[in-house]
Each structure stands twice: as structure tokens, then as C-alpha cells.
Structure 1
């Protein structure tokens, strides 16, 4: 086992510290993932057609394994001429080449193999070379120039390129090519209950979840209890419904959210005035602390003294922030 320290000045009276490019690459690779830039000020290595067999690679930058490539201005790349009878697919590739005789990054046209059903050339990803494909270019048989509809942008495809992610810092955050952020592990539950839950007149009861469709954080603790794993603002949604002929018209349905055994807020109070008015939908938001226990509860009135059994209950909880 070897312990390494990054990055310190030489200690007083000690031997000189020396760092290599690979040390900086290892450092950056812990923070910056592989991919191309996604900015508001650059075209971020987009590929477009020019004259004849030339395409243009726009300004932008890319990272792979801690090493950086930068193209400061539009760069021309020239494809080999087309075959007379068969198409081929080339790729515009950013190569990160750490072989001892190279040690550089560069862009180039990776030529494909012509054929009746051509496929793009594979990317090299070895211990020394790592390639990103920013575009495929269809070279049509017998054609002496390239048009934009022959170019397929691959920058958004994670398997061959993707946009630069920040990992080990924002591990739960993903940002797409439009700058839209997605919280990958955000709390969300979705349940449905079609088994029939009996409500006695004027008696509050817990609303059971039933079948779990989604529970991203494993927060459903029992058939009626959700335990928040993290503090934040949460959204709550509930639906209780009956078949049109299975409930007494005029019943009053009230739904509440309870937190730690206490009523937090009422979600809805609704009277079902006709057989077409046969379901209740309610929503609301509240702030929770980690470990808070949440339950949906409901009460029905004006049932004619008889118990009522809804045919459908659907519940949702989502963490907003």
C-alpha cells in the first residue's frame, strides 16, 4: 500500500516534492468526469458541414480521465473521398493519447468501413488512449460533398461521449445538454390500492399504501407509514375513488396528513354530490425533518350509517427541495 499526498510545497529542510502530469490528471479525474463542454458561450465541439468533404469542429473543450482538450476556434477536418458504390460512416473523434511517444489530445476523422449497411468505427478505449465521438458523418456513395443532414450529433450520448459531469461532488445531480438539473436519488413514492379499504362513518382511519409502484429511497416503513430519510420540503398527493354505483351520494370525504402522530394539515374536504362526482383528489406541501413519520388519514361523513369501501386509492409523496 502506498500513501500519496496532493499537493504540498516542499517541507522546510526536506527533500523537494515533484509532481507529474499524471498526478494532476488523477486529481482532476476524481472531480471532473469524461465528456464535452456544455456552455452558453461556445458551440461546444459541434460539427457542421462546409464545402466539399470538409466539416467544421466548433470551439469547446473536453475532459477524459483527468486530461483536458481545448479547441479555441473552429477547426476544419477533411474526410477521405466517398466510395463510388457504397456508403460509409466516419466519426469525428477527440482522442486523449497518453502513449509515451504521444502524450497529447487531438481531434481527427476516424474513417469507417464502407458497406451496404455501414456501421460507425468503434472507439479506442485502452489504458493509454481514450476517445470521445462528437459526431457521426455519413459519407454517401459517389457524393463529393457533405451536407448537414449527413451529420449525427453524438455529444449527448453517454456511451460514446456525453457532457462533462461533476462527480464525487454532486453525486446525486445530473445536468443534461439543456442545463436542466435532475436529482437522481430524490425521494419519491407512488402506490396504488385496489383491494378495498373500509371506512366506518365518522371514524378517522389510516389510509394504507397498498401495492408499491415506486419507492426510490426505501422510505415506506409499513403499510401506512412513510419515514423521511432527509429534511426538506415535500409534496403530498392522494386520490380516493368509488365506482359510480358503489357509494351513497352526498358523503363527505376529508383527507389529512399526519406527521409523528399529529395532524399536520388538512388536504381536502369534499362532498360527493352525484354519482358522476365519485372521487376525491387532494394535494399539499409541508416541511419534514429526517426521521419524521408520515401517514395519510381520512374520515367520511353522511354514509347513512353504513361503512363505505372505495375501489381505488392512489398516494404520492415527492421531495421538492
Structure 2
């Protein structure tokens, strides 16, 4: 199973890889703080040195989706495609199989009271919905959304306050297509399902701003934060809009290697589908062996999340499990494998 997951991981990472607003803010982890609040940049890199983060990639999908994608990939290269694909569709009729992948690379540095970062994110959110093969919907619907985001971040520290801003240049690509059984038989590999002519592209600019207040005379080292993401809304014209969201949070560090982070996203419910309980994010992490191993848990979409991260030399590997909200508003548990190279 791990071998299959790793092969799929490499497959998706080779594609130009869920929205940076959704994918990179809905996990209960500390790695996504830059996308939640730019004033927290110093938390990502507390040392005054130039740091390179490359090949920070992840693949997340449900166990059903992993099995389906693996079987679809095998059927596409099978000598008996007709029988294999028909068998696969019959097994999964009416199911929504989904996955997400992302890559984020950056260069960042802290110097005196100023922190800066320059990064590039590629994200991919995909869905396969299987049908009987008759009617206008064909045998399988394919829906893909890709984002490419160039993000520049600056954070300034003044006494107990940190102020931060993100400038984002974004490109959104959406592909949707209804495959007939004959078209599925003509595809020779999984990558063929990610390359079709029914593609739309739009560009947008966005600004995020955030502040963090850290009182110096209170136990447990609390940080109080507030951020505005996608100020003024970010329009991709016909491809939709990233709504402006207001977010608050508090973090506590009762012990040196133990951290608790509680956030509430979209305080004023600017996202139409946002329910009250959907906004809560809780992260609790404990580090061991000089911060080389981190065990974490939390709450995302009113469900438990779990994580394990290991840092060895320039490599970081992570395994996480958490719930996400799909494009059809259904919530599904995802399992994520991530790999990073940092020096």
C-alpha cells in the first residue's frame, strides 16, 4: 500500500499541481501559518539565517480514492482495457473520488525586526464521479482545479506586536469533462485524465494582512492574532471569487516543546457555505528529540486530526489524517503524505 501511495505521490507531483485558501488553511498544522496570517512568518523561521524550502510537496486522498486511482491507472495500461474499465465503473457507480496535491517552495530570512519570504505554490484539487455510461454525463465526470500562486511576504516586529502582509499573484485553471467509455479506453495512462481541451484560465491579485500581539508578562506565552485574507475579494471572473475572510486565533506555549493553537476562520461568514462549526481549527503539538519528531492532534471540521512529522538532516516527512470539505460540501477524511527538503 505504501509503495502504491508513493508512486501516486510522484505522479501527482510531476503534474503542475484545491485552492491555496482552502487546502493550505483547512489543515490543523503549523506548516500553513503563512497562509493564515503573514504576521506569523517569524514562527516559521525564528533564526536569523537564510533558509531554502524546496520540494515541500504533499498528496492527500481518502482510502477509497487511493484504490480507485490506482486501479484506473492500471486499467489504462491493461491489455484488456474494455473489461477492466467496465469492471471499475460498475464497482464505483455514483461515487465521488477526490484528491488534492500541492507543492510550495520558498526562500525566507529573519533579520533584526524584519522577516521576509518569497515563495511559489502549485495546488491541484481533483474529482472523479462515476456513472453508468449512459446519458449526457457519460461514464465518468472529471473536474480539476489548479492554482499557481507567487506569494511575497513581509513581517515587521515592533515591541510586542508583529505586522505582516502577503502579496499574491494567482493563476487559476479549471478543467471539466465527461468521458465516455470509449474515450476512457483510448487513454493510456492516468496523466491523460489531467490533460484535456476543456480548460479555462483566469488571473487575479490578492492582499492578506495580519497582526500578532504577544504579551511579555503572562504565563504560557500567549499570542493573539487577527488576519484579513483576500482583502476586497479576489475575482477570477467566470471561475469564481476567493471571498475576503476575517480570522482570529490564540496560541499558547505552556512548555518549550508543547504548543496549542486555536483559530476561527471566516468570522463574519463571507463564504456562503460556511457553517459556524466549520470555522474552528485546533492544533496541539509536542516535539521530541530536539524538535526532530513532532506528534500532533487537533480538530478540523468538527472531527479529530492526527499527524506525525520527522525531520532528519535536510529532509522532512509527514503523515497526517484530517477531514476536508469537498466542492459538493460533503466532508471526507483524507490521509496525507508530505515530503520537504529544507536547508
Which interval holds the TM-score relative to the shorter structure?
under 0.3
Pair member with larger Rg? 1
Greater strand proportion = 2
Greater helix proportion = 2
TM superposition score normalised by structure 2: 0.23
